[in-house]
Amino acid sequence: MISEGDLVLVYVDERRSRVVRVVKDKTLHTDRGYLRLGELVGLEWGAKVRLSTGVAAYVLKPTLTDLMLRLFRRATQVIYPKDIAYMILQSNVGEGSRVVEAGVGTGFLTAVLAWFVGRSGRVYGYEINDEYVKVASVNLESVGLSDRVLIKNKDITQGIDESDLDAVFLDMPNPWDVFPHLGSSLKPSSPVIMFVPSVNQVLRVLEHVKEFRRLVNVNVSEIILREFQTCPDALRPKSVGVTHTGYIITSRLTKE
């Protein structure tokens, strides 16, 4: 059942679906009509409702991806779900993991990490821009994940405060400047996962990996996702979409 205060994905069609919080006196306006949100209280998830014009809509329970893409305020470039999914799987992060992440930016990756580490895990986020710290904090609060995350307004190249970590994630222009701090903060054998938007940065990472000598099992990947339009009469890839996101570098820290 939908209760007051719940976040709901009001789905009209692919172009008209919005995540809203159910507040009794609020109204959702769309170009197909409006919906009084108070009327959603007590409905079952997935129920069909009618906009003021009679157009049908469905009230769906938002996934974490829905919340990130449709509710979060974006302040920076973000890591897209297709890349995050691969990064998470390669990192082996799960219930109870303790991980460090930099930079936090909008908090897309932070939210997914918080989701996967669960109630008993912890995400320590480093972000040099205090404006982004605020944006990410509000975003995480809005989806109820902030109690699993500690965001610090700190430059991670100056050091990592935590030790015995299970993984480190770096989405920042110069991840190689964090390498000197990995040995004292990360459990040996644990993954170091980097995301960089340009090939030039991949090359610099690889040069520094060679010099640093404590990262092995290094892999560089690009995840290409091709979305299709779902029209049965013209089933084909969408003609417009996100064409480039970035490169994922996965690696493992050795003992010495």
Ligand X SMILES: C[S@@+](CC[C@H](N)C(=O)[O-])C[C@H]1O[C@@H](n2cnc3c(N)ncnc32)[C@H](O)[C@@H]1O
CB of 51 to ligand X, least distance (A): 33
Contacts of residue 128, Cβ cutoff 8 Å, sequence gap at least 6? 103, 153, 154, 155
Rank residues 216 and 225 by Cβ distance to ligand X and give the closer one: 225
CB of 151 to ligand X, least distance (A): 10
Helices (H) and strands (E) counted in the chain, each on its own, are 6, 15
Instruction: Give the CB-nearest residue to ligand X.
Output: 103
CB of 248 to ligand X, least distance (A): 12
182: three-class secondary structure by DSSP? helix
Residues within the interface to ligand X (CB under 6 A): 76-79, 102-103, 105-109, 126-129, 132, 155-157, 171-173
Rank residues 155 and 161 by Cβ distance to ligand X and give the closer one: 155
CB of 169 to ligand X, least distance (A): 8
DSSP lists the bridge partners of residue 140 as none
Rank residues 69 and 128 by Cβ distance to ligand X and give the closer one: 128
Rank residues 62 and 107 by Cβ distance to ligand X and give the closer one: 107
Omega of the bond prior to 103 within 30 degrees of 0, cis?
Answer: yes
- Are 96 and 87 in contact by the 8 Å Cβ rule? The answer is no
Q: Choose among 246, 149, 150: nearest CA to 194.
A: 246
